[in-house]
Structure 1
Amino acid sequence: MITTTATTTLSLFLSLLLLSCFLQVSSNGDAEILSRVKRTRLFDPDGNLQDWVVTGDNRSPCNWTGITCDIIKNSSSVTAIDLSGFNISGGFPYGFCRIRTLINITLSQNNLNGTIDSAPLSLCSKLQVLILNVNNFSGILPEFSPEFRNLQVLELESNMFTGKIPESYGRLTSLQVLNLNGNPLSGTVPAFLGNLTELTRLDLAYISFKPGPIPSIFGNLKKLSDLRLTQSNLVGEIPHSIMNLVLLENLDLAMNGLTGEIPDSIGRLKSVYQIELFGNQLSGKLPESIGNLTELRNFDVSQNNLTGELPEKIAALQLISFNLNDNFFTGGLPDVVALNPNLVEFKIFNNSFTGTLPRNFGKFSGISEFDVSTNKFSGELPPYLCYRRKLLRLISFRNQLSGKIPESYGDCKSLTYIRMADNKLSGEVPVRLWELPLTRLELANNNQLEGSISPSISNVSHLSQLEISGNNFSGAIPHNICDLGDLRVIDLSRNRFSGSLPSCINKLKDLERLEMQENMLDGEIPSSVSSCTQLTELNLSNNRLRGGIPQELGDLPVLNYLDLSNNQLTGEIPSELLKLKLNQFNISDNKLYGKIPSGFQQDIFRSGLLGNPNLCGPNMDPIRPCRTKPGTRYILAITILCIVVLTGALVCLFIKTKSLFKRKPKQTNKITIFQRVEFTEEDIYPQLTEDNMIGSGGSGLVYRVKLKSGQTLAVKKLWGGAGQKPKSESLFRSEVEILGRVRHGNIVKLLMCCNGEEFRFLVYEFMENGSLGDVLHSKKEHSAVSSLDWTTRFSIAVGAAQGLAYLHHDSVPPIVHRDVKSNNILLDHEMKPRVADFGLAKTLKRKDNDGVSDVSTMSCVAGSYGYIAPEYGYTSKVNEKSDVYSFGVVLLELITGKRPNDSSFGENKDIVKFAMEAALCYCFSSPEDGAMNQDSPPGNYRDLRKLVDPKMKLSTREYEEIEKVLDVALLCTSSFPINRPTMRKVVELLKEKKSLE
C-alpha cells in the first residue's frame, strides 16, 4: 500500500516537473518570437518596448510592456498583445501569430502601414480579437478564411483600406463587433452582413459607399446594440425591420440621403439611448411613439424636412441633448420640456415655432447651450436659464421676444456667447452683463434697449464682436473699449451715442469693421485710426463730425468701404485716399471744398460727392466746374482740336490692326464697373489681338493689355456672346456675381465686365508673375523662380489660405471655390498671392449659427485632376472641406515642387500618398539609418530630403517650418472631411510658431 502511494506521488511529481519544463520552454519560445518581431518588423521610436529583451533574468514575457498572459490557468502563455498608442511603425506583425496561445492583437493608434495579405494572415486564424484602428494600412481589405471561426472582434477603423467589403466577412459567424469606420471603401452597404447574427456592434460610418439603401436583412441582427451608418451615402426609406432590434442602444443614420417618414414602429426600440437622424431628407411629423422611449437621452433629427408640432409626450422625455433645428416645425413648446432635469443642449433654431418660451427653462437642469433663434417666439426671455450656472451659449435672434433682459443673466459667469438681435427687447442691459467673459455680444436690430455701455466692459478681454446697432443706447463711447484687443467687429450704429470717437482706437490692431453711423458723435476723426491695418469697413456717416478728413486714412491697406457722409467735415479731399481700393466711397453732404482729385472724377463716384457745394470738378454735373484762368478756354479749344485729330488717326490705325474683332462691337454691350478705374471699354477693344494673347482654355482667351497710362490689365474674353454657350454663360455669371462683391487682398480683383450680344469679357488686375503652378512646374525660364525660396513659398501659403478663409467664413453667403489649384493662385510683382478663376465657384447656404455651411450636391464633378477631394468624386457633394483638401495638395506642391500626379511617385500614387509615405519614413527613421551627408537637413530633419524640393537651400528654422506646414497639409488631405480643419483653422495653424503635435 505504501509502495503504491509512493509510486503515485512520484508520478504526480514527475508530471508537474514535465509541465513546468513545458511551460518554461513555451514561455521562452514566446519571448523569442516577440523579440524577433520587434527587431525585424517594428520600429519603436519612443522606446516603449525596450523591455522586450530576452536575458538571463528576463526570459518570461509576461511582465513585458503590452503583454498579457493566462493568469486564470496560472501559466506563462501569452494570450494578448496590446500596443495601443505606442507610436510604433512598420508593417503588420504576422510573426506574433506564431504564439500558439495568442487570441488578442490590439495595435490601435500607431503608424503601421502597408497592405495586409491574406496568405500570411492565415497564421492568425486562432485570434478572437483583432483591433487595428487608426493606423495607415492600405490596399484592399484582407480576406478571412473559414479557419477564423473564433474571431469575435474585428476593428479596422480609420485606415486607408479600399475596395468592396469581401463576402468572406459575411461568413464570420462568431463575429460580435465589426468596425470599418472611416475607410475609403467602395461598393454599397452589403446585405450579407445581415447573416452575422451574433453582432452586437456594427460600425460602417464615414465611408463613401455608392448610393444604396439600408439592407432590410439587418433586421435579423437581434443582438445588435450599436448601429452606426453615419455619412455612408444611404438613400431610400428607413426599413421597418430595423425597428425590431429591441436591444439597440445607439441608432446613428445621420448625414445620408434618407427620405420618407420616420417609421412609427421606432417606438419598439425600448433600449435605445441615442437616435441620430440629422442631415437627411426625412419628412412628415415626429411619431408620437418616440415618447415611449424612456431610455432615450440624445435625440437629433435636425436638418431634415420634418413638419408639424412637437408632441408633448416627446417633449416630456428626459433628454440630455434635444436637437430639432433646421426643419419646418410649428406650434408652441409644451411647458413640460423645461421640467427635464437632464437637459444640457437644446437647439430648435430655423423652424416656425410660436408662442412663449417656457418660463422654467434652466431651473431644473444645468443647460449649457440654448438656441431658439429664427422662430416666431414672443413674450419674455426665460429668467432661470442660468440658474445652475452652466449656461455657455444663449442664442435667440430673429424672434419677437419682448421685455427686459433678465437681471439674472448678468450673474451668469459661465456665459461666453450671446446673440439676441432682431427682437423687441427693451429697457437697460443689466450692468453686470457688460462684464461677462463673452467672445460675442449681439443685441442689434429692432430692439429698443437703452442706457450706456458700462466702462467695466474693459474686463471682457476676449470679446471679438460687439454688435448693438439699432437700439436707443446713449452717452459717450467709453475709452475702455480700446482695451479689448481681440475686437474684430464694432457695430454701434443707429443709436444715440454722443461725444467723440475715442482716439485710442489705434490700439485695436485686429479691428476689421467699424460701424458708428447714425449717432450724434462730434469732434474730429482721429488720425490714429490708420493704425487699424486690418480695417476693411469704416462707416461714420450721419453724425456731427467736424474737421478735415485725415489723410492717414489712405494708409489703411485693405480698406474697401468708406462712408463719411452727412457730417460737418471741412477742408479738401485728401489725394492720399486715391491709394485705397474702394468699393464704396461716400463723403456726400458735408462742407468739403476745393478741386476733386482726378482719380475721383468719375461717374461711379459722383453720388458720393454730392451735397458739398464748394467742391468742383470737370464734367460732373451737378457738381460745378472749377474756375479757369483767362485764356484757358483758348488752350482748351486747341486741346479738343488735337484730340479730334488724334482720334481720327487712331481710328485709321484700328482698322488696319489685325484684331480678333472684325468690327467694333455693337453698342448694346452692358458695361459694369466694380472697382475704381481710370479707363473705359474703348481703351481695351483695340488691344484684344493675337499679339497680346497670353493664354487660352475651355472658357476663352486671356490677353495682356497695357494701357497708355502704364497700367497693365488681364482680360479674359469668353467664347461666344450672351446666351450662346450655357457653360460659358455659367462661368461668366459665376465670376461676375462672386468677384463683383468680394473684396480681399488675397483674392484677384475683378475691375470691369462687358456683357454683349457678340462677346463678353472680364477685366482683372494683371499678375506680373503669373500663376504659382507656372512658377513651380514650368520648364521654361521664369523670372520668379529664383525668388521662390521657402520664405516666399510660406508667405504664398499663408496668403492663399487667408483668401480661402475669407470666402468660407467671412463672405455672406459663404463661397466654395471648387477649383483650388496652383494654376489658380496668381502672383503679383511682390509674389503676393491672389486666388483666381471663380468660374466653378458656388455660394452655399448657412447650416447653423456658427458659420458652418450646408453641403451642396453638384450635377457633375468639377475641379482638376489631382486636387479633387475623394468624397466629391463619390458623392458629388461639396462644401468648404472640399476646398480644404485641394489647398492641402497645393501645400504639398509648395513643399515638394512636384505636380499632384508627378510620374516619379510611381503607378497609382499621387502627391498625397507620396507625402504620407515620405512623412512616415521621416518621422520614424532611426539614427542608424545611414550617415548624414553635407546636403542633409540638420538634426532630426534629415529625412525630409526625400520630400522637400531640392531647388531650395534651407536652414534649420526653415526645416522646422516645413515640418509644420507638412503636418497641416496632411490634416487638410485627410480622406474624411470631418477630420479636416476649417480654412480659418488652417490659417491659425500656419501662423503658429510651434510645430503641430
Structure 2
Amino acid sequence: MMIHDSEFTGILPKKLPQNLTRLDIYNNQFTGEIPSFPDRLQVFRASNNLLNGKLPSTFTNFPQLTELSLDNNQITGSIPYKILDMGFLTVLNLSHNQLFSSIPPTIGLLQMLTTLDLSGNNLSGSIPVELANLMLVFLNLSVNQLTGMVPSAFNVEPYAQSFLSNPGLCTSAKNVLDLPLCDKSGNAPNSPDEPNYSHDMDILNRSKRLSKVLIVLVVVGCAAFIGTAFSGLFIARKYRKRIKDNLDHESWKLTPFSSLDFTEFDILNGLAEENLIGRGGSGTVYKINLRNSTHGTLAVKKIWSGQRPEAKLEKQFQAEVQILGTMRHVNIVKLLCCIASTQTKLVVYEYMENSSLDRWLHGRGRMSKWMPLDWPTRPQIAIGAARGLCHMHHDCSPPVVHRDVKSSNILLTS
C-alpha cells in the first residue's frame, strides 16, 4: 500500500491487514500512535507525519521487516533492546523525534543494517562499541546528548559528519572528526563523568547472535574507472623480488575507510612474487598475511602505471574509491583502505579464504580436489550475490553499477 505525498489526516487504524507487506505513508499528516504491524510487513515508511507516543511493545516482533523509517515525527520513549529480533533490518531511521535514554548495544547485532540515523533526538550515554561491527553505508548520530569517546572504528573520514552537535563527545584521533580530543579518562574536556551502562552490556551478552551470511560480492570490478578507464593506463608487471626494493623512493598516502592496526609499509613489504595470487587486465592481486594485525590476511590489488596519471583520471580514481570505501553490506567485500603514490595505486580488501565461485564450479586451482557445490548451497550463493547488487543499485547514493558480474568476482567466506 502506497499513499505517500498526499494530505491525508487522521489516526491510523490499530490493526493493519495481515497480508500487507509494504506500507508507504510518508509526507502526510497522520496522527496518533504507531499501529501494530502485520506479521508479513517488510517495509514501513512513515516519515514526515505527526505520529506520537512510544514505540509499541510489539515493535520488535516482525523479523521480516527490512526498512523502518519513522523520521520527523513526535515519537517518545526509548529504543527497545529487543530490536535485535529484526534480523533482516537494513534501514533504521528514527531521526528527528523525541527519543531519550541510551542507544541499545543490541543494534550492533543487526548484521544486515547498512543505514542508521538516530539524529535529532535526546539520546544520551556513550556510543556502543558494538556499532563498529556493522557495515554501515550511512551513520548519523548528530544533535543528541551523547557523551564519551567515539569508538575508534569511526575515526575515519566517511564518518566525519556523523557525530556533530553532541557537546559531550570526544575523539582519540586528530584532524578526522570535528570533535575535541578526549582527556585521560576518555571524556570530553569539561564534560561530566561517563554513566555506568553495565546493565546494557549484560543484556547484550545474553542476546542471540545472528549467523554470518556465506557469500560476499567483490566490489573491485564495480568501479568502472578501475575496471575500464584505468585498464589502459595501469599495466601489470611481473616482479622477481620484493616491490619495496623498487618503490622505496616514492611517497605514499594511506586513506583508511575503517579502523586499521597496520601501516602502508606493512602492505608494501608483502608485495612479493611469492604472495601473488592473481593477475588481470587492470592489475595484480596479492595475498598478504599480517601476523601482528587483527585483520589477519588481506587481499591487495595493485594498479600500476609507468608514469604519473592525468589529473582528471586521478580525481576519478579517488572519487570511485571514496564510494567503495563507504559501502557497507554483509554481501559486499569490505574495502579497508587505499594506498597511493604518484605512479601506483593499492586497494586493500578483506581476504576471502574460500576463493572465487568459478573455482568451485569449474574445479580450477586448489579447488580441483574439493567436492563440487551441492544444489542447496548454489541458490544461497545466488541470493547473496543478488542482495549485494540490490544494495549497490538501490541503497547507495549515487547508485553503483558493477559492470563485471561473473563467477570469478563472487567470493566465498567460510
TM-score (norm 1): 0.32
Please state if 1:597 is matched with 2:151.
yes
Please state if 1:468 is matched with 2:26.
yes
Please state if 1:663 is matched with 2:217.
no
- Report what 2:357 is aligned to: 772
Q: Relative contact order (C-alpha < 8 Å, sep 6+): which is higher?
A: 2
Deviations 1:195-252 (A, max 9, x none): xxxxxxxxxxxxxxxxxxxxxxxxxxxxxxxxxxxxxxxxxxxxxxxxxxxxxxxxxx
Deviations 1:855-912 (A, max 9, x none): xxxxxxxxxxxxxxxxxxxxxxxxxxxxxxxxxxxxxxxxxxxxxxxxxxxxxxxxxx
2-side partners of 1:576 and 1:805: how far apart? 26
Cα distance, 1:696 vs. partner? 1.1
Q: State whether residues 695 and 702 of structure 1, in contact with CA within 8 Å, keep that contact through their aligned partners in structure 2.
A: yes
What secondary structure is seen at the aligned counterpart in 1 of 2:60?
helix
Give the letter aligned to residue 710 of structure 1: T
Give the letter aligned to residue 557 of structure 1: Q
Q: State whether residues 582 and 676 of structure 1, in contact with CA within 8 Å, keep that contact through their aligned partners in structure 2.
A: no
Please state if 1:495 is matched with 2:49.
yes
2-side partners of 1:567 and 1:725: how far apart? 43
Q: State whether residues 504 and 528 of structure 1, in contact with CA within 8 Å, keep that contact through their aligned partners in structure 2.
A: no
- Report what 2:130 is aligned to: 576
- Report what 1:234 is aligned to: none
1-side partners of 2:365 and 2:242: how far apart? 30
Q: State whether residues 722 and 760 of structure 1, in contact with CA within 8 Å, keep that contact through their aligned partners in structure 2.
A: no
What secondary structure is seen at the aligned counterpart in 1 of 2:124?
strand
- Report what 2:17 is aligned to: 459
Give the letter aligned to residue 380 of structure 2: S
1-side partners of 2:3 and 2:265: how far apart? 48
1-side partners of 2:350 and 2:317: how far apart? 17
2-side partners of 1:528 and 1:517: how far apart? 20
Alignment of structure 1 residues 708-719 onto 2, 5 Å: 708-711=292-295, 712-719=297-304
Alignment of structure 1 residues 471-870 onto 2, 5 Å: 471-478=28-35, 480=36, 482-483=37-38, 485-602=39-156, 604-620=158-174, 622-627=179-184, 659=244, 661-666=246-251, 673-675=256-258, 677=260, 679=262, 681=264, 683-707=266-290, 708-711=292-295, 712-720=297-305, 723=309, 736=321, 739-740=324-325, 742-754=327-339, 756-778=341-363, 780-782=365-367, 785-786=370-371, 788-807=373-392, 817-828=402-413, 830=414
What secondary structure is seen at the aligned counterpart in 2 of 1:473?
strand
Q: State whether residues 772 and 823 of structure 1, in contact with CA within 8 Å, keep that contact through their aligned partners in structure 2.
A: yes
Compared CA separation, residues 581 and 820, structure 1 to 2 (3 A): closer
Q: State whether residues 562 and 585 of structure 1, in contact with CA within 8 Å, keep that contact through their aligned partners in structure 2.
A: yes
Compared CA separation, residues 461 and 809, structure 1 to 2 (3 A): same
Deviations 1:691-728 (A, max 9, x none): 332211111111123333231221111131663699x9
Give the letter aligned to residue 286 of structure 2: Y
Cα distance, 1:452 vs. partner? 3.5
Compared CA separation, residues 442 and 673, structure 1 to 2 (3 A): farther
| Identity among equivalent pairs (%) | 41
Q: State whether residues 451 and 475 of structure 1, in contact with CA within 8 Å, keep that contact through their aligned partners in structure 2.
A: no
What secondary structure is seen at the aligned counterpart in 1 of 2:58?
helix
Compared CA separation, residues 601 and 806, structure 1 to 2 (3 A): closer
Compared CA separation, residues 660 and 827, structure 1 to 2 (3 A): farther
Q: State whether residues 152 and 172 of structure 2, in contact with CA within 8 Å, keep that contact through their aligned partners in structure 1.
A: no
1-side partners of 2:49 and 2:183: how far apart? 39
Cα distance, 1:774 vs. partner? 2.1
Q: State whether residues 287 and 299 of structure 2, in contact with CA within 8 Å, keep that contact through their aligned partners in structure 1.
A: yes
Give the letter aligned to residue 492 of structure 1: A
Q: State whether residues 360 and 372 of structure 2, in contact with CA within 8 Å, keep that contact through their aligned partners in structure 1.
A: no
Cα distance, 1:553 vs. partner? 0.6
Give the letter aligned to residue 795 of structure 1: Q
1-side partners of 2:271 and 2:139: how far apart? 31
2-side partners of 1:623 and 1:680: how far apart? 25
- Report what 1:300 is aligned to: none
2-side partners of 1:456 and 1:713: how far apart? 51
Q: State whether residues 243 and 268 of structure 2, in contact with CA within 8 Å, keep that contact through their aligned partners in structure 1.
A: no
Q: State whether residues 283 and 303 of structure 2, in contact with CA within 8 Å, keep that contact through their aligned partners in structure 1.
A: yes
What secondary structure is seen at the aligned counterpart in 1 of 2:293?
coil
2-side partners of 1:616 and 1:817: how far apart? 38
Cα distance, 1:556 vs. partner? 0.3
Q: Which is further off, 736-745 or 611-620?
A: 736-745
Give the letter aligned to residue 476 of structure 1: E
Alignment of structure 1 residues 283-298 onto 2, 5 Å: none
2-side partners of 1:495 and 1:586: how far apart? 21
Judging by fraction of residues, say which structure has more helix: 1
What secondary structure is seen at the aligned counterpart in 2 of 1:696?
strand
Deviations 1:171-192 (A, max 9, x none): xxxxxxxxxxxxxxxxxxxxxx
1-side partners of 2:243 and 2:338: how far apart? 23
What secondary structure is seen at the aligned counterpart in 2 of 1:764?
strand
1-side partners of 2:72 and 2:259: how far apart? 27
Alignment of structure 1 residues 148-159 onto 2, 5 Å: none
Alignment of structure 1 residues 893-904 onto 2, 5 Å: none
Q: State whether residues 660 and 689 of structure 1, in contact with CA within 8 Å, keep that contact through their aligned partners in structure 2.
A: no
Compared CA separation, residues 573 and 812, structure 1 to 2 (3 A): closer
Compared CA separation, residues 820 and 603, structure 1 to 2 (3 A): closer
What secondary structure is seen at the aligned counterpart in 2 of 1:487?
coil
What secondary structure is seen at the aligned counterpart in 2 of 1:504?
coil
Cα distance, 1:768 vs. partner? 0.9
1-side partners of 2:16 and 2:136: how far apart? 33
RMSD of aligned alpha carbons: 3.7
Compared CA separation, residues 659 and 754, structure 1 to 2 (3 A): closer
Cα distance, 1:549 vs. partner? 0.9
2-side partners of 1:511 and 1:597: how far apart? 28
2-side partners of 1:733 and 1:617: how far apart? 26
Q: State whether residues 742 and 811 of structure 1, in contact with CA within 8 Å, keep that contact through their aligned partners in structure 2.
A: yes
Q: State whether residues 525 and 549 of structure 1, in contact with CA within 8 Å, keep that contact through their aligned partners in structure 2.
A: yes
Q: State whether residues 257 and 337 of structure 2, in contact with CA within 8 Å, keep that contact through their aligned partners in structure 1.
A: yes
Q: State whether residues 503 and 528 of structure 1, in contact with CA within 8 Å, keep that contact through their aligned partners in structure 2.
A: no
Deviations 1:829-849 (A, max 9, x none): x2xxxxxxxxxxxxxxxxxxx
Unaligned runs of 5+ residues in structure 2 are 187-240
Aligned length: 354
Cα distance, 1:759 vs. partner? 1.6
1-side partners of 2:399 and 2:151: how far apart? 36
2-side partners of 1:742 and 1:578: how far apart? 14
Deviations 1:395-422 (A, max 9, x none): xxxxxxxxxxxxxxxxxxxxxxxxxxxx
TM-score (norm 2): 0.72
Give the letter aligned to residue 274 of structure 2: D
Cα distance, 1:812 vs. partner? 6.7
Alignment of structure 1 residues 395-406 onto 2, 5 Å: none
2-side partners of 1:811 and 1:615: how far apart? 28
What secondary structure is seen at the aligned counterpart in 1 of 2:278?
strand
- Report what 1:441 is aligned to: 2
Q: State whether residues 242 and 271 of structure 2, in contact with CA within 8 Å, keep that contact through their aligned partners in structure 1.
A: no
What secondary structure is seen at the aligned counterpart in 2 of 1:695?
strand
